[in-house]
Amino acid sequence: MQEQTSIRISSNLLNTLKKFKDDNDSYEDVIWDFIEPHLEISEQAKKDIEMSKQEYKRGNFATLEEVKKELGF
């Protein structure tokens, strides 16, 4: 079982968090949604991003219209 803890926050912050919370979300989910974009990405992810950028520059990509046509939409 994962360790749990309580934190003290102001009612103002709680009310703000509630605005971002869906019925099925926990407050942990809401907090992670804010934190994740600020976490450092892995070296492998950086390499993958760079490779994707190079492929795009070479024209190795498909447009949305091409994908739709290929999938029969």
Burial 32-52 (b: 16+ CB within 10 A, else e): eeeeeeeeeeeeeeeeeeeee
Domain boundaries, the chain: 10-39, 41-73
CB 10 within 8 A of CB 23: no
Question: Per-residue pLDDT for the chain (73 aa), expressed as one digit of tens each?
Answer: 789 999 999 999 999 999 999 999 999 999 999 999 888 888 999 999 999 999 999 999 999 999 999 999 9
From the list 62, 50, 9, the residue with the least C-alpha distance to 31 is 9
Q: What is the CA radius of gyration of the chain?
A: 20
Residue 62: predicted pLDDT? 95
